[in-house]
Structure 1
Amino acid sequence: MLDRVGAVTVHQGDCLVTDSPDVTYSTVLGSCISACVRDTKAQVGGMNHFLLAVQSSSARDRFGESARYGAYAMEQLINLVLTKGTGRKSNLEIKVFGGGNINASITDVGAANAAFVRAFMADEGYVATSEDLGGAFARRVLFQPFTGRAFVKRLDSTINEGLMREELAHANQSIKPVEDDIELF
């Protein structure tokens, strides 16, 4: 879906990868995290957007992990870029964004998400080439996978309240099983 800046919007739970020189990915983050991963030799890259580091025990469902959660979202993005690219981890460039504390009156989910993505990358042997994590603000992130350029705009606090409500609504959604083995969300 193209947004008003002519970019493909990456929503919570999305993981998109391309080798097109004409594609720009865009997302808005509060406490969520987006990783931008690029194979520098193959000029293939993508962006994910995850809501929480892991599912809470109270939110676990029979469908297991999904791209709304950090470990799955990171593995999915890295594997897709490796598969469409050269297949060499040494060619990957990773940039991470988000993890803002957009509502000081609730638990700092953003800090937990930022800690998760840093730990995940360290455990997997990756080093972020750039990051913009934490703070008390939302962000709009644009990423051009072909070139690897990323742009971040810190958004004013009036956006934070609506974004927080949207993130909480997504976090509280439960996926319902369907007889055809299709998941509706």
Structure 2
Amino acid sequence: MGQNSSLPPEFDRGVVTTVHQGDCHVSAAPDVTFSTVLGSCISACVRDRVANVGGMNHFLLAEQSGSAKDRYGASARYGAFAMEQLINKVLSQGTGKKSNLEIKVFGGGKINSALDDVGAKNIEFVRQFLADEGYVAVGTDLGGTYARRVLFKPHSGRAFIKRLDSDVGATVAREEMALASRRVVVPAPVDDIELF
């Protein structure tokens, strides 16, 4: 009995890669599992169902900048960059066809009153991004008042969500608070470059 004996068998073996905030990992290996813990952050899992290659990102929108450029200013460009980076990596390692992609999105929990609307903004952002790009998520687990662990098999596309108890959630909330309060805004990619 391993410590992960509550996991479905396919998630309880092989190589587990942790996806931290700001990361984007892609693999086609059958024995790879991507793992992340989300509070108000979002992780998207994108897979090319024909090439059996998939990936996971993990992002938190920064503070709203008040820019007139778009509703969330630089932070939405950061979220869009996180989504585009993942989609483009999967496309380049897969068939290159957007119609072969399946997308699942997770997170956006409200686990701390100080991060009151961050999860909701993240959810609104990712839904709008997918709609604007013409994608439909085939699976979601968004919102709620708990942190969650997400495990994703990029080869098969299977995802497993475990809701975490409140003391784990409190730790996740503290980490996210520290990141959000730094107001780190990642430089946006230059707007006039077309990403394929």
Q: TM bucket by the smaller chain?
A: 0.7 to 0.9
TM-score (norm 1): 0.83
Counterpart position of 2:7: none
- Corresponding residue SS for 2:113: coil
Instruction: Give yes or no for contact 2:76–2:125 (8 Å, CA) kept in 1.
Output: no
Question: Is 2:85 the counterpart of 1:88?
Answer: no
Counterpart position of 1:57: 65
Question: Is 2:112 the counterpart of 1:103?
Answer: yes
TM-score (norm 2): 0.78
- Corresponding residue SS for 1:87: coil
| Amino acid of the structure 2 residue aligned with 1:127 | V
Q: CA RMSD in A?
A: 2.6
Runs of 4+ in structure 1 displaced over 6 angstroms? 65-68
Matches of 2:179 and 2:52, distance apart in 1: 32
Counterpart position of 2:8: none
Unmatched 5+ stretches in structure 2: 5-11, 67-73, 186-196
Deviation at 1:160, TM superposition (A): 1.7
- Corresponding residue SS for 2:21: coil
Unmatched 5+ stretches in structure 1: 59-64, 176-185
Instruction: Give yes or no for contact 2:44–2:57 (8 Å, CA) kept in 1.
Output: yes
The farther-off stretch of 69-78 and 165-174 is 165-174
Q: How does 1:29-44 map to 2 (within 5 A)?
A: 29-44=38-53
Matches of 2:116 and 2:106, distance apart in 1: 19
Residue deviations 1:14-64, cap 9 Å, x none? 000011111100000000000000000000100000011x55328xxxxxx
Counterpart position of 1:183: none
Counterpart position of 1:74: 83
Residues matched between the structures, number: 168
Counterpart position of 2:173: 164
Instruction: Give yes or no for contact 2:38–2:107 (8 Å, CA) kept in 1.
Output: yes
- Corresponding residue SS for 1:25: strand
